[in-house]
Amino acid sequence: MKKLLFLFMAAGALTFTSCDSKKENAVEDKAEMKEEATEDAAEGNADAAEDAAEATKDSVDAVDPQ
């Protein structure tokens, strides 16, 4: 009988802890949007750096084609 009671208590505790609040979801969404913006900026910087490296290589090849 005690095991059954503890089982139901554990199930009830897990049920209540798994519920999200609207405030928590809003904070998580805001953090996720910031993360995505940071990733997009990093990708843009990587693309710009790659373009600059390619332009430098092209200008060196124009001056000294080997």
Calculate mean pLDDT across residues 13-22. Answer: 76
| Amino acid at site 15 | T
pLDDT band, residue 62 (cuts 50/70/90): low
In b/e form, how buried is each residue of 18-41, taking b as 16+ CB within 10 angstroms?
Answer: eeeeeeeeeeeeeeeeeeeeeeee
Residue ranges covered by each domain of the chain:
20-45
pLDDT, tens only, 18-47: 677 788 888 888 999 988 888 878 777 777
Percent of the chain with pLDDT over 90: 5
- Report d(CA 23, CA 51) in Å as an integer: 42
- pLDDT of 38 reads 85
Residue among 36, 39, 57, 59 at smallest CA distance from 47: 39
